[in-house]
Structure 1
């Protein structure tokens, strides 16, 4: 048998924050890149596509982080209280 210590709640929250920060950076970066490419190719170097697509990336990252910290917001998920499980 392996005697592993359960993860502390501080470590779990820290890992979730790290995941959210990394996810935010990646999605905002992808949104920014798509905006720059769209701005150069389709919109004659206007700046609004860059802001719009970066905002979409930040919004998607925010929604993912919200679901990570509050699993009751995931569609189809049922939260069972301690009283119901006994």
Structure 2
């Protein structure tokens, strides 16, 4: 048997990592956004949305980097 991992398994592992990263980073963005919303911006909603969007952007950037490393 070959000791190399199948490409489908590698891709699935990267997507699983993306999902966990996005949940973690979006949650962190929401927490930071809520702190800014409560303390600085007088309970506006946009810091929450902005923080979660930044977290999702960081997670998708990490996914793109991981997928590019798989192709090499």
Q: Shorter-chain TM-score: which interval?
A: 0.7 to 0.9
The answer for unaligned runs of 5 or more in structure 1 is 72-78, 80-86
Alignment partner of 1:60 out of 50, 58, 61:
58
TM-score (norm 1): 0.73
Flag the structure with larger Rg. 1
Q: What residue number does 1:27 align with?
A: 25
The answer for unaligned runs of 5 or more in structure 2 is none
Q: Distance in 2 between matches of 1:5 and 1:32?
A: 42
Considering Cα pairs closer than 8 Å and 6+ residues apart, tell me whether 1 or 2 has the greater RCO.
2
Q: What residue number does 1:11 align with?
A: 9
Q: What residue number does 2:37 align with?
A: 39
Q: Distance in 2 between matches of 1:5 and 1:52?
A: 44
Secondary structure of the corresponding residue to residue 70 of structure 1:
helix
TM-score (norm 2): 0.86
Query: 1:3-42: per-residue Cα shift (whole Å, max 9, x none)?
Result: 8732111111111111111111100110011111110111
Aligned alpha-carbon RMSD (Å): 1.9
Aligned length: 71
